[in-house]
Amino acid sequence: DGGITQSPKYLFRKEGQNVTLSCEQNLNHDAMYWYRQDPGQGLRLIYYSQIVNDFQKGDIAEGYSVSREKKESFPLTVTSAQKNPTAFYLCASSILAGLYNEQFFGPGTRLTVL
């Protein structure tokens, strides 16, 4: 089945440690996105990528880094510079065909920094 996988579902880390969240898609989508969701709030864009080896900052990129070495993969690293990393992280992808296209989301990773 085609879809987006994120791993792990729950992640615990100590303060000051970097952590990498995995996102893989087999939908052959061009674009991939990372969002952060805090309780009672909507999604905020961290980074997005429209093509391999290229990515752009979203609204809240500080303290995060990404790579796009393969079309299928878009890992997100939460660095120690991120002041409040505990949140729910969602990865998405879209096909970029036509004018506007819906984004397909993965199941999310809930990160807790202790």
Partner 1 sequence: AQKITQTQPGMFVQEKEAVTLDCTYDTSDQSYGLFWYKQPSSGEMIFLIYQGSYDEQNATEGRYSLNFQKARKSANLVISASQLGDSAMYFCAMTEGQSYNTDKLIFGTGTRLQVFP
One character per residue 56-95, x = contact with partner 1 (rule: CB under 8 A): --x-----------------------------x-x-x-x-
One character per residue 2-41, x = contact with partner 1 (rule: CB under 8 A): -----------------------------x-x------xx
Q: Give me the numbers of helices (H) and strands (E) for the chain, helices first please.
A: 0, 11
Q: Which is nearer to partner 1, 97 or 114 (CB)?
A: 97
SS3 content of the chain, % helix, strand, coil (to 5): 0, 50, 50
Backbone angles phi, psi at 78, to 5 degrees: -95, 115
Backbone angles phi, psi at 21, to 5 degrees: -100, 135
User: Applying CB under 8 A, which residues contact partner 1?
Assistant: 31, 33, 40-45, 48, 50, 58, 88, 90, 92, 94, 96, 99-108, 110
